[in-house]
Amino acid sequence: MRQENKALIEEYYRHPQGYHVMDNPTVIGHEGNPVCGDDITVYLRLEDDIIVDYSFSGDISMHTIAASSFWYEFLVDAKIEEVLTWTDTVIQQEWFILSERRKRAGAIALVAVRNALHERREDGLKDTFDDVLT
Each residue of 58-117: pLDDT tens digit?
999 888 999 899 899 999 999 999 999 998 877 776 666 666 667 788 889 999 999 999
Residue ranges per structural domain of the chain? 3-132
16 Ramachandran zone, left/alpha/beta (phi>0; psi -120 to 50): beta
Q: Using the Cα atoms of residue 17, residue 20, residue 22 and residue 28 in order, give the sign of their dihedral.
A: positive
What pLDDT score was predicted for residue 120? 96
Provide the 3-class DSSP secondary structure of residue 40.
strand
Q: 116 and 27 in contact (C-beta within 8 Å)?
A: yes
- State which fold the 3-132 domain adopts: Sufe protein. Chain: A (3.90.1010)
Instruction: Give mean pLDDT, residues 25-42.
Output: 92
Say what the pTM is.
0.91
Provide the 3-class DSSP secondary structure of residue 120.
helix
User: Which tops the pLDDT comparison, 44 or 33?
Assistant: 44
